[in-house]
Amino acid sequence: MALRTATQRRELCRDCPIARVADALGDPCSLLIIRDLIDEPRRFSELEESLGMSTRTLTLTLRRLQKQGIVSRHERKTLPLYVQYRITRKGAAFGAVVDAMRSYGKKYL
């Protein structure tokens, strides 16, 4: 069954913790951003280079992850000015998921 509407997603996610996590991540790019930020805070350009995704996709994904409290955005107001993204405590909890996926990928893929 394809989940085409927000109502369908909410209905499925209400009863299934795995579906709730999948919905929170939204897409594979989210996990890759989390993977990179778990190691250390990064600037937008560093994420863009590491992930090889378009500026628009990265911007939208980071905004969604910020809204969910998984990633935080920090602006440095002194020269040189720049923005850095950091994983939050909530986001760091995905570390076990990332590690499990890494282990599975190395072993079976």
pTM > 0.85: yes or no? no
Between helix 28-39 and helix 44-51 the angle, nearest 10°, is 120
- pLDDT on residue 20: 72
Burial annotation 33-71 (CB, 10 A radius, 16+ → b, else e)? bbbbbeeeebebeebbeebeeeeeebeebbebbeebebb
Q: Which residue has the tokens 């909890």?
A: 93
- DSSP classification of residue 16: -
Distance CA 85, CA 5 (A): 30
Digit-by-digit pLDDT tens for the chain (109 residues) are 455 676 766 666 667 777 777 777 777 889 999 999 998 999 999 999 999 989 999 999 999 999 999 999 999 888 888 899 999 999 999 999 889 988 988 988 8
- pLDDT on residue 50: 92
- pLDDT on residue 1: 46
Domains and CATH numbers, the chain: 27-108 (1.10.10.10)
Q: Count CB neighbours of 14 within 10 A.
A: 9
